[in-house]
Structure formats: structure tokens, C-alpha cells
């Protein structure tokens, strides 16, 4: 979190963890403006990472995006059928050759969505702790009905109708 120019500060590189890191950045920046020492300042100082290290991180991060973009589409992850989905659980399953982000609620109803993230097209995964669909690429999150919870995605996941829960 450097001073970008006299009196101008910036914080970036949250990597999908803006709720937590943005709050920390706010505290570090307000302390910097007030001239108060902050024990986290050095931990988040941009120059702590050598250019070569940050380049390899950039390559790794984008390789992860490329991996998910391809692997998630070609079934490298295990698929399952809707009938094995337990109440309260969600999973990306394959039905008739199509991937579906399926969640079964406690009443047994299947909530079926397109698993293709509306940000840049990666395949979302089920987050059992938060009961949400989370994108592994840039951290977008969606609720069980596909509504955007957190960006960078701005459009909801598409609903899939006519999914037979007995399948
Ligand atoms: Fe970027 Fe999903 S592809 S958040």
C-alpha cells in the first residue's frame, strides 16, 4: 500500500479476498495518513516481493485460471448423478452430457443452474460451509438460486428448468 503520489494512496491485489484485505488496507492507509505506526504495514508493502517472484506468481495465478477453464469442462473432476445428491448438498453433476450446478434443498427440491461463471466462464464449485457456488478463478460467489453474492461477476448464473429430481 504505497503512496502513489503526494497525498494519494492506493491498495490493490486483493486476489478475491477484498472483504478481509480491503479492511486491513483501510486501517493501514488511515494510519499512514495520520502518521501512526501500523504493525501490518511491512507485511503488505508491495516492495516485499521481488519482481521475479511476483512474475512467477502472476504466471501461476493465470495458469490456475487456464487449468480451471479447461479441466472443469472436460470432466477431469468426478461427476455424479442428481439422485445421489443429499438434502443440503450441492455439486456440479453431469446430466445427459451437460454440466449442472445442482443443489438439493431440505424439502428435496433440486435448484439447477448453469455452472459457467458469468464473469469469465470458469466452472463454479460448491461451498458447503457457506452454501454458495464459488468461482475458483477470481472469487465470484452466487447463492443457491444463482444470484450474485460477490463480484467480480455482475450477472446471475442461468437457471436450468425441467430437471427431474428423480434422476
Ligand atoms: Fe472470474 Fe468466475 S471467471 S470470477
Hey, which of 68, 72, 119 would you mutate to test ligand 1's pocket, going by the most ligand atoms within 8 Å of its Cβ?
Answer: 119
- Total count of domains within the chain: 2
Q: Which pairing describes strands 132-134 and 8-9: parallel, antiparallel, or unpaired?
A: unpaired
CA nearest ligand 1 atom 1, residue: 138
Residue 126's CATH number: 2.102.10.10
Domain around 60: 18-71
One domain, residues 91 and 145: yes
One domain, residues 142 and 87: yes
**Cα dihedral: 142, 145, 146, 151 (round 10):** -30
One domain, residues 40 and 90: no
State the distance from the centre of ligand 1 to the C-alpha of 166, rounded, in angstroms: 31
Query: Can you give the pLDDT at residue 148?
Result: 96
Encode the chain (167 residues) as per-residue pLDDT tens digits. 555 567 788 887 777 777 888 888 899 899 988 989 988 888 887 776 655 555 556 555 655 565 555 445 544 343 456 778 889 999 998 877 788 899 999 998 888 899 999 999 999 999 999 999 999 999 999 999 999 999 899 999 999 875 544 44
One domain, residues 67 and 95: no
Counting from 1 in the atom list of ligand 1, the atom nearest the Cα of 120 is 3
- Dig out the grid coordinates for 72 from the structure: 472443469
Query: Residue 3 domain-assigned?
Result: no
Query: Residue 136 domain-assigned?
Result: yes
Amino acid at each position: 500500500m504505497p503512496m502513489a503520489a503526494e497525498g494519494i494512496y492506493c491498495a490493490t491485489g486483493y486476489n478475491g479476498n477484498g472483504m478481509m484485505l480491503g479492511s486491513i488496507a483501510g486501517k493501514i492507509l488511515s494510519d499512514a495518513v495520520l502518521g501512526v505506526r501500523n504493525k501490518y504495514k511491512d507485511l503488505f508493502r508491495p516492495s516485499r516481493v521481488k519482481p521475479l517472484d511476483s512474475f512467477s506468481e502472476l504466471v501461476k495465478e493465470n495458469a490456475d485460471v487456464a487449468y480451471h477453464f479447461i479441466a472443469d469442462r472436460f470432466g477431469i473432476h468426478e461427476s455424479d448423478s442428481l439422485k445421489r445428491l443429499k438434502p443440503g448438498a450441492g455439486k456440479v453433476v453431469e446430466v445427459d452430457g451437460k454440466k449442472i450446478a445442482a443443489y438439493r434443498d431440505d424439502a428435496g427440491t433440486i435448484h439447477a443452474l448453469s455452472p459457467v461463471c458469468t464473469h469469465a466462464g470458469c466452472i463454479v464449485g460448491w461451498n458447503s460451509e457457506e452454501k454458495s457456488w464459488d468461482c475458483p478463478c477470481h472469487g465470484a460467489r452466487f447463492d443457491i438460486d444463482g444470484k450474485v453474492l460477490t463480484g467480480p461477476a455482475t450477472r446471475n448464473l442461468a437457471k436450468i428448468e425441467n430437471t427431474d429430481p428423480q434422476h
